[in-house]
Amino acid sequence: ILNVEQSPQSLHVQEGDSTNFTCSFPSSNFYALHWYRWETAKSPEALFVMTLNGDEKKKGRISATLNTKEGYSYLYIKGSQPEDSATYLCALPLDSGNTPLVFGKGTRLSVIA
Amino acid sequence: EAGVAQSPRYKIIEKRQSVAFWCNPISGHATLYWYQQILGQGPKLLIQFQNNGVVDDSQLPKDRFSAERLKGVDSTLKIQPAKLEDSAVYLCASSLQGVGYGYTFGSGTRLTVV
């Protein structure tokens, strides 16, 4: 069983604030880490796939870092906007083969205008 | 490219009734997944197909849930009979093979069992 923990469970920020949240996972047997954004009534959307320790990825105002040795990834949002309101999901595969992703419970972000 | 198509978007049924969901994945994606997301929890895998073969169905409640992927393309997920605890969002996703490939999800079916 792969335990993927996300924190906080939810947070509310003001428009323009920067924020970050965490995905924690066992540091042994790491293969890849995926971040998804899931807006209400829409499909979950892939943000990043990260595979190497020290990886940093960026997409607009959203960036992510990965530390496989200590078992965590941070997702940062700079200058939050109301359209960033969504649930952010972290997921990891069980092994290097054709195995499915195991998801965390997500962090629900609400950006208040 | 066209996305993953799912239908219906919403369904309300009474307990003990049956229901079916349909998914059409991205063309060329051999792997197809069905996930169940109960409110407050992360998506949980129900079944994974590789082409038309089952790779993992260890968490599928086989006494009431069934799934098939005929001809390795479209897939259907059925619940018969439904229970109150089956109320959830059912997500279909497809991907290329390999840990470096992300999923493309459908918009999901929100099922309410009353």
B29-83 pLDDT, tens digit per residue, is: 999 999 999 999 999 999 999 988 999 999 999 999 999 998 889 999 999 999 9
Which residues are bridge partners to A40 per DSSP?
A: none
CA atoms within 13 A on the CB side of B62: 6
Query: In this model, does residue B16 exceed pLDDT 80?
Result: yes
Q: Tell me the shortest Cα–Cα distance from A55 to chain B, in angstroms.
A: 13
Give pLDDT, residue B72: 83
- d(CA B55, CA B68) in angstroms, rounded, equals 12
Q: Which of B9, B99, B103 to mutate to test the interface with A (most CBs of A within 10 A)?
A: B99
Query: Nearest Cβ partner of A31 from B3, B40, B99?
Result: B99
How far is the C-alpha of A50 from the C-alpha of A52, rounded, in Å?
A: 6
Q: Which of B4, B42, B97 sits opposite A103 (nearest CB)?
A: B42
Cβ–Cβ under 8 Å, residues A3 and A95: no
Summarize the confidence of residues B100-110 as an average pLDDT. Answer: 93
Please tell me the distance from the alpha carbon of residue A93 to that of residue A103, in angstroms, as a whole number: 9
Dihedral sign, CA of B51, B57, B59, B64? positive
CB neighbours (10 Å) of residue B96?
14
Distance from CA of B64 to the nearest CA of A (A): 22
Q: Higher confidence at residue B102 or residue B65?
A: B65
Our CA angle for B82, B73, A51, nearest 5°, is 90
**B88-95 and B75-79 beta bridge pairing:** unpaired
Task: Give the pLDDT confidence score for residue B36 in this predicted structure.
Answer: 98
Mean pLDDT for all residues in chain B? 94
Determine the distance in angstroms separating the CA of B53 from the nearest CA of chain A, rounded to an integer: 13
8 Å CB contact between A89 and A49 = no
User: Is the preceding peptide bond at A82 cis, omega within 30 degrees of 0?
Assistant: no
The span from the CA of B100 to the CA of A65, in Å, is 16
Please list the rounded mean pLDDT of every run of 10 residues in chain A (113 residues): 94 97 93 96 94 95 97 98 97 87 97 95
pLDDT at B1 over 80: no
Verify whether the Cβ–Cβ distance A100 to B48 is below 8 Å. Answer: yes
Is A104 close to B31, i.e. CB distance below 8 A? no
Residues of chain A with C-beta less than 8 angstroms from the C-beta of B107: 41-43
DSSP designation for B60: S
The verdict on a CB contact (< 8 Å) between A51 and B100 is yes
Chain A residues with a Cβ under 8 Å from any Cβ in chain B:
4, 6, 31-32, 34, 36, 41-46, 49, 51, 89, 91, 93, 96, 98-106
- Asked whether the beta carbons of B50 and B30 are under 8 A apart, the reply is yes
